[in-house]
């Protein structure tokens, strides 16, 4: 579907015959060339897909629809972390930004430096499994790790005893929206940067990839 | 650099190369100290023990001093080194302020945790004091100020205390056991707290379904606690061995991770409790969980999860909750609620109300002295759901007493190695296996012996008869009349004119043959046919066929045939026999006999003591063999007497290297026992300057060395022995073994019983000897039982008395 380019480093390939437009979060783009990239894809026949999962969307405008879908995930993630002291959000993309926005001041805290102010929650919007282990190390005992990113099928090695069990951590998975019961979600995502296949990617929170 | 940092560290950080030089100096100093300690007799093991004892010594005194209370002696279980557990003496301070001292009756084993600690698995933490266990129950002995709500005699459960016969703990760790609750069940209190917390974190709705992964003690207990409110949908185990335990806890379905992956994926339970401790069980847990479900990590994963299923957790919107018991303290610090006590009281209350039954989870009672054996079993098998140490099984001398605060620490490391023997725990009481009873105390009857053959060995036998209270020598015969007259004079016996005349005498009940081996059979037949019991100096005969002939003659005549193997009745051998019978060694796994002698040509070709010329020992036809049949046969019988396992095959090399005689002077034998144990026998009569012997055996529970310097090491619970420590037999009384042998024979005959050393015993030794010789000739393994069966068959008569021995 969407892949990182093997010929042009940092560029994307739209490898889907029916796709017209794809929306991609910056944090979803893996570094290796020729890797699968999760995306919200709109096809010529009006379907919306988040990877393989077909979605029912609400509202007009592809960008608004994609924003609503991302915001839906952000809302779920933020609701798990809201109310907890000291929340840290991992990620630089649109999803991470939307989560921070929804968490308000709590979600804007930088990485805590002192043990006494270790975060009680880390929301990971990257999906990178390596971040999972490092996030548990930063969390305060009894804290919560919210997994809202796209793991891309990647697995990770983890010592569950040391990183979760003995410290009483919670790991909460946030699913991407799917199925036929979408919710109308207010979204305040910035406008995506429009890019073409094989073009170098400029710095942005997320991208709109068109043929 | 922090101001509190060690000077050396600060210096090493500021002066280039200083760190390396300091390390070098430290390493050299440590090397010198260690070298000096090794020179002083320490070994790595004894040094480790000394270090441990010193730490414990300091710890106990710090505790006692802080509370201004005396110390008491008790026993506890310790991880002495990697893979070794042991019952060791400990010192326990009496309860001071806010503390309670409890006489422990039972301490619960947490098989998963303790197996992991014993095997040194990843994530298995062993505390500074290196002692397992954290949950027990017993009776309050005393309570310090602030702990008066507990009175002496109260039944209590205790958390956080290692396996020990006596513990002093903060009162916060003590829980009153409600009436009607067994202490064995109450001893699971800590596990009840652990599991109760896991169930609470699962936030089960009344009547809602849940699933438990893991069917061990934690899994079974969590399932039962959760089932008080919710519905146990399924349990998942590694195999079906523990299915009954899960079913009895109420699990509707039981699946295994190996065979039921599809079924597990269909469980779709809103709550999954992972109680395995298996780092890969997270896959089964995530598979069994419904979308949006909660997984409580209750068991401590022993290792790293290689492929944590990030996608599954995310796509199923799962919540994974770490539920280590230490998180109760995190929670308490945040909320101010003593959740630990709440869970403990709740567990004991559930037991009292009958809401849960854990009687099938407490498992077998283990004698604490067998801790080492128990952990070995636990390491090999994960079948065991629960177990508990029964501290009331300790014999009274091993229970508590007062310890001295000013007593120095034991830094000798004494007892780990045989060269530092330790004394028995409690003297030589009559109950101790080390106690040697008067061997003549049960002597009955009066056996009148006629001696056929009055050579040197007959002198020893007659002397033994004189010591035995129920044996006398009444007649003697030897073709060399002067020998017979000499012996008759010493023992007020008469000299018979012939062998026939001796066996025909009315004042002779039994005939003792002390003649060259080839004469055993004809004289034994002569005596038996005259109606006399027959006692033959070892070996039974010069060949197996002759020995069978003797046994058959005795059988036909209805008289007893016994073989003089007096080494069975040496004091150390009798103690060894008692120890083996008490289980000190356990099932035999190996044995070793070594006998090095330096026999001169005079032994084979001349006389023995100068009383008479006797050159038959050097003749194969008359003696039947050399050092094996002549000397090592004592040890062959003695070992068989001790091990009580028959030999299956022997493989041997036999040589006559010195050339003084036609018989062998060297033999090496590999022995395979019927239970699979392996042993060896190495003997030579041509080892210059030597007269030494060694006999030892070992089994699943210990090792016994009879010669040289008798000693025993046992992991078993044998009264009078300290487990896991070498213990010498100490000073034993001198016993005339031939006197004991003859006295026991007389008593057996008086009671109408078979002699303790029976014809079957003699034939077993003879068959072993013959098998060694045959293997030496053919180079093939030989089964002694086959040779004996063949000899019986060739003799043409059955030998019923042998049926029980082979």
* Residue among A160, A162, A169 with most chain B CBs within 10 A, to mutate: A160
* Residue among B310, B312, B328 with most chain A CBs within 10 A, to mutate: B310
Digit-coded pLDDT (tens) for B490-545 = 999 999 999 999 999 999 999 999 999 999 999 999 999 999 999 999 999 999 99
Higher per-residue pLDDT: B480 or B614: B480
CB of A135 within 8 Å of any CB in chain B? no
Kindly report the backbone phi and psi dihedral angles of residue A44, in degrees, each rounded to the nearest multiple of 5, phi listed first.
-65, -30
* pLDDT, average across residues B657-682: 91
B415 pLDDT higher than 70: no
* pLDDT, average across residues B12-38: 75
Q: Do B324 and A155 touch (CB under 8 A)?
A: no
What is the chain A residue with the closest CA to B319?
A172
* Mean pLDDT lowest among A62-71, B137-146, B642-651: A62-71
Q: Do B319 and A172 touch (CB under 8 A)?
A: yes
**Residue A163 CB neighbour total at 10 angstroms:** 24
Q: Do B322 and A172 touch (CB under 8 A)?
A: no
Provide, rounded to the nearest whole percent, the portion of chain B with pLDDT above 90. Answer: 57
**Residue B1 CB neighbour total at 10 angstroms:** 8
Q: Do B322 and A164 touch (CB under 8 A)?
A: yes
ipTM of the complex: 0.91
Measured between CB atoms, which of A154, A164, A166 is closest to B310?
A154
- Write out chain A residues lying below 8 Å of B122, CB-based: 159, 161
Q: Taking the model in full, what pTM does it have?
A: 0.78
B37 pLDDT higher than 90: no
* pLDDT, average across residues B669-694: 94
Please tell me the distance from the alpha carbon of residue B488 to that of residue B639, in angstroms, as a whole number. Answer: 35
CB of A172 within 8 Å of any CB in chain B? yes
B429 pLDDT higher than 70: no
B7 pLDDT higher than 50: no
Please tell me the distance from the alpha carbon of residue B806 to that of residue B557, in angstroms, as a whole number. Answer: 23
What pLDDT was estimated at residue A55? 76
What pLDDT was estimated at residue B400? 67
Please tell me the distance from the alpha carbon of residue B246 to that of residue B242, in angstroms, as a whole number. Answer: 7
Where does chain A have alpha helices with state H? 62-81, 94-103, 129-138, 160
What is the chain B residue with the closest CA to A147?
B314
Best CA proximity match to A75, nearest among A196, A200, A175, A204 = A175
Shortest CA gap A53–chain B (Å): 11
What pLDDT was estimated at residue B800? 44
Higher per-residue pLDDT: B21 or B511: B511
What pLDDT was estimated at residue B5? 40
Cα→Cα distances B613→A56, B480, B601, B727, Å: 117, 10, 13, 45
Digit-coded pLDDT (tens) for A89-130 = 999 999 999 999 988 876 554 444 444 588 899 999 988 888
Q: Do A165 and B300 touch (CB under 8 A)?
A: yes
Residue B707, SS3? strand
Please tell me the distance from the alpha carbon of residue A72 to that of residue B124, in angstroms, as a whole number. Answer: 42
What pLDDT was estimated at residue A133? 86
Shortest CA gap A159–chain B (Å): 4
Cβ-contact B477, B501 below 8 angstroms: yes
**Residue B419 CB neighbour total at 10 angstroms:** 11
The set of residues, in sequence order, having a beta carbon less than 8 Å from that of B758 and lying 6+ positions away, is B560, B561, B562, B801, B805
Measured between CB atoms, which of B310, B316, B327 is closest to A129?
B310
Half-sphere exposure of A136 (CA within 13 A, CB side): 24
Kindly report the backbone phi and psi dihedral angles of residue B434, in degrees, each rounded to the nearest multiple of 5, phi listed first.
-85, -10
Burial of A153 (0-12, 13-18, 19+ CB in 10 A): exposed
- Write out chain A residues lying below 8 Å of B313, CB-based: 147, 171, 173
Measured between CB atoms, which of B279, B309, B318 is closest to A155?
B309
Measured between CB atoms, which of A127, A148, A166 is closest to B324?
A166
A22 pLDDT higher than 60: yes
* Residue among A143, A161, A162 with most chain B CBs within 10 A, to mutate: A161
Q: What is the average pLDDT score of chain B?
A: 87
What pLDDT was estimated at residue B84? 84
CA A82 from centroid of its chain's CA atoms: 18
* pLDDT, average across residues B119-140: 83
What the block records as the tokens of B780 is 């093939």
Beta strands in B381-527 (DSSP E): 387-390, 401-403, 447-452, 471-477, 494-495, 510-513
* pLDDT, average across residues B1-25: 56
B562 pLDDT higher than 70: yes
Q: Do B324 and A167 touch (CB under 8 A)?
A: yes
What pLDDT was estimated at residue B761? 95
What pLDDT was estimated at residue A176? 78
- Write out chain B residues lying below 8 Å of A53, CB-based: none
Please tell me the distance from the alpha carbon of residue A181 to that of residue A184, in angstroms, as a whole number. Answer: 10
pLDDT range class, residue B554, cuts 50, 70, 90 = very high
Measured between CB atoms, which of B315, B320, B331 is closest to A142?
B331
Higher per-residue pLDDT: B12 or B483: B483
pLDDT range class, residue B709, cuts 50, 70, 90 = confident
Please tell me the distance from the alpha carbon of residue B616 to that of residue B73, in angstroms, as a whole number. Answer: 64
Please tell me the distance from the alpha carbon of residue B715 to that of residue B702, in angstroms, as a whole number. Answer: 6
Shortest CA gap A76–chain B (Å): 10
Cα→Cα distances B293→A136, A168, B269, B274, B430, Å: 21, 18, 7, 13, 65
Strand partners, B71: B93, B403
> In this structure, what is the dihedral angle of CA atoms B512, B514, B516, B522, given to the nearest 10 degrees?
-10
* pLDDT, average across residues A49-53: 78
Please tell me the distance from the alpha carbon of residue B534 to that of residue B633, in angstroms, as a whole number. Answer: 19
What pLDDT was estimated at residue A112? 44
pLDDT range class, residue B27, cuts 50, 70, 90 = confident
Please tell me the distance from the alpha carbon of residue B637 to that of residue B765, in angstroms, as a whole number. Answer: 6
Shortest CA gap A87–chain B (Å): 17
Best CA proximity match to B367, nearest among B676, B75, B795, B773 = B75
Measured between CB atoms, which of A127, A157, A169 is closest to B322?
A169
What the block records as the tokens of A20 is 């017209």
Kindly report the backbone phi and psi dihedral angles of residue B414, in degrees, each rounded to the nearest multiple of 5, phi listed first.
-65, 140
Measured between CB atoms, which of B282, B307, B314 is closest to A174?
B314
Taking every pair of Cα atoms in chain A, the longest distance, rounded to a whole number of angstroms, is 54
* pLDDT, average across residues A84-93: 89
CB of A190 within 8 Å of any CB in chain B? no
* pLDDT, average across residues B106-120: 89
Question: In this structure, is the dihedral angle defined by the CA atoms of residues A182, A183, A184 and A190, taken in order, positive or negative?
Answer: negative
What is the chain B residue with the closest CA to A125?
B314
CB of A161 within 8 Å of any CB in chain B? yes
Q: Do B304 and A159 touch (CB under 8 A)?
A: yes
Higher per-residue pLDDT: B729 or B702: B702
Q: Do A174 and B310 touch (CB under 8 A)?
A: no
* Residue among B289, B322, B324, B328 with most chain A CBs within 10 A, to mutate: B322
Burial of B33 (0-12, 13-18, 19+ CB in 10 A): exposed
What pLDDT was estimated at residue B601? 76
B45 pLDDT higher than 80: no
- For chain B, list residues whose CB is within 8 angstroms of any CB belonging to chain A: 122-123, 279, 282, 291, 297, 300-324, 326-327, 330-331, 334
A179 pLDDT higher than 60: no
């Amino acid at each position: 579907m969407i892949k990182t380019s093997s010929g042009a480093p940092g560029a994307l390939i739209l490898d889907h015959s029916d796709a017209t437009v794809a929306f991609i979060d910056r944090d979803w783009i893996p570094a290796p060339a020729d890797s699968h990239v999760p995306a919200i894809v709109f096809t010529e026949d009006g379907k919306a897909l988040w990877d393989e999962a077909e979605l029912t969307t609400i509202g007009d405008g592809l960008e608004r629809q994609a924003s609503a879908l991302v915001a839906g995930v952000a809302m779920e993630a933020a609701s798990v972390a809201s109310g907890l002291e000291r929340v840290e959000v991992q990620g630089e993309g649109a999803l991470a930004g939307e989560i921070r926005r929804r968490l308000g001041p709590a979600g804007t805290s930088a990485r805590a430096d002192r043990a006494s102010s270790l975060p009680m929650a880390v929301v990971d919007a990257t999906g990178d499994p390596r971040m999972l282990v490092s996030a548990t190390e930063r969390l305060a005992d009894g804290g919560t790790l919210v997994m809202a990113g796209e793991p891309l099928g990647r697995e990770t090695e983890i010592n569950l005893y040391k990183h979760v069990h003995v410290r009483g951590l919670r790991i909460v998975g946030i699913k991407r929206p799917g199925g036929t019961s979408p919710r109308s979600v207010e979204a305040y995502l910035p406008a995506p940067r429009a890019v073409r296949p094989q073009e170098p990617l400029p710095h942005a929170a997320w991208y709109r990839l068109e043929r | 650099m922090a101001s509190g940092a060690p000077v050396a560290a600060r210096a090493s950080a500021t002066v280039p190369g200083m760190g390396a030089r300091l390390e070098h100096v430290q390493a050299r100093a440590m090397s010198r100290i260690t070298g000096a300690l090794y020179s002083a007799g320490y070994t790595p093991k004894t040094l480790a023990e000394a270090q441990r004892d010193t730490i414990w010594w300091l710890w106990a005194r710090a505790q006692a001093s802080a509370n201004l209370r005396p110390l008491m002696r008790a026993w506890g279980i310790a991880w002495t080194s990697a893979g070794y557990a042991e019952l060791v003496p400990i010192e326990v301070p009496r309860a001071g302020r806010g503390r309670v001292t409890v006489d422990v009756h039972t301490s619960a084993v947490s098989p998963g945790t303790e197996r992991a600690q014993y095997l040194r698995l990843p994530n298995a933490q062993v505390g500074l004091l290196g002692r397992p266990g954290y949950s027990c129950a017993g009776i309050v002995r005393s309570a310090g100020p602030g702990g008066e709500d507990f009175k002496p005699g109260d039944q209590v459960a205790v958390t956080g205390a290692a396996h020990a016969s006596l513990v002093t703990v903060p009162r916060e760790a003590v829980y009153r056991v409600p009436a009607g609750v067994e202490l064995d069940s109450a001893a699971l209190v800590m596990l009840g707290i652990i599991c109760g917390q896991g169930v609470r974190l699962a936030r089960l709705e009344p009547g809602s379904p849940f699933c438990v992964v893991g069917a061990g003690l934690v899994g079974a207990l969590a399932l039962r606690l959760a089932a008080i409110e919710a519905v146990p949908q399924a349990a998942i185990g590694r195999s079906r061995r523990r299915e009954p335990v899960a079913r009895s806890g109420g699990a509707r379905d039981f699946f295994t991770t190996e065979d039921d992956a599809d079924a597990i994926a269909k469980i779709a339970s809103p709550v999954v409790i992972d109680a395995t401790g298996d780092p890969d069980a997270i896959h089964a847990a995530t598979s069994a969980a419904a979308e949006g479900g909660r997984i409580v990590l209750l068991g401590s994963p022993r290792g790293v999860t290689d492929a944590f299923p990030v996608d599954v957790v995310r796509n199923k919107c799962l919540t994974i909750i770490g539920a280590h018991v230490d998180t109760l303290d995190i929670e308490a610090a945040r909320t101010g609620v003593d959740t630990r006590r709440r869970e403990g009281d709740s567990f004991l209350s559930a037991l009292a109300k009958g809401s849960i039954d854990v009687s099938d989870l407490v498992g077998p009672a283990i004698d604490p002295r067998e801790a080492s054996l128990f952990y070995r079993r636990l390491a090999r098998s994960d079948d065991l759901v629960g177990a508990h140490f029964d501290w009331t099984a300790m014999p009274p001398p091993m229970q508590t007493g007062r310890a001295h605060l000013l007593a120095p620490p034991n830094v000798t490391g004494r007892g780990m190695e045989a060269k530092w023997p330790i004394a028995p725990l409690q003297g030589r009481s009559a109950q101790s296996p080390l106690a040697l009873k008067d061997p003549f105390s049960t002597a009955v009857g009066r056996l009148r012996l006629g001696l056929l053959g009055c050579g040197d060995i007959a002198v020893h036998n007659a002397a033994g008869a004189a010591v035995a209270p129920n044996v006398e020598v009444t007649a003697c015969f030897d073709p060399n009349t002067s020998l017979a007259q000499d012996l008759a004079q010493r023992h007020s016996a008469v000299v018979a004119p012939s062998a026939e005349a001796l066996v025909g005498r009315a004042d002779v009940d039994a005939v003792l043959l002390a003649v060259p081996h080839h004469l055993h059979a004809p004289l034994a037949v002569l005596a038996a046919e005259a109606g006399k019991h027959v006692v033959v100096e070892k070996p039974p005969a010069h060949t197996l066929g002759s020995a069978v002939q003797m046994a058959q003659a005795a059988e036909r005549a209805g008289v007893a045939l016994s073989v003089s193997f007096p080494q069975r009745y040496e004091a150390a051998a009798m103690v060894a026999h008692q120890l083996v019978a008490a289980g000190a060694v356990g099932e035999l796994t190996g044995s070793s006999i070594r006998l090095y002698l330096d026999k001169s040509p005079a032994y084979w070709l001349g006389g023995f003591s100068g009383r008479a010329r006797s050159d038959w020992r050097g003749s194969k036809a008359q003696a039947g063999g050399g050092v094996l049949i002549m000397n090592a046969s004592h040890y062959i019988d003695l070992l068989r007497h001790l091990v009580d396992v028959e030999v299956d095959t022997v493989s041997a090399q036999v040589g006559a290297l010195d050339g003084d005689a036609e018989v062998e002077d060297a033999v090496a034998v590999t022995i395979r026992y019927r239970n699979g144990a392996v042993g060896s026998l190495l003997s030579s009569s041509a080892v210059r300057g030597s007269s030494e012997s060694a006999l030892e055996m070992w089994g699943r529970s210990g090792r016994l060395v009879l010669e040289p310097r008798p000693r025993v090491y046992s992991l078993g619970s044998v009264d009078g022995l300290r487990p896991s420590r070498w213990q010498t037999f100490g000073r034993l009384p001198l016993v005339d073994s031939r006197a004991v042998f003859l006295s026991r024979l007389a008593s057996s005959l008086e009671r109408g019983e078979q002699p303790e050393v029976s014809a079957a015993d003699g034939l077993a030794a003879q068959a072993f000897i013959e098998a060694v010789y045959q293997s030496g000739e053919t180079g093939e393994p030989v089964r002694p039982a086959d040779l004996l069966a063949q000899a019986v068959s060739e003799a043409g008569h059955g030998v019923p008395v042998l049926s029980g021995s082979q």
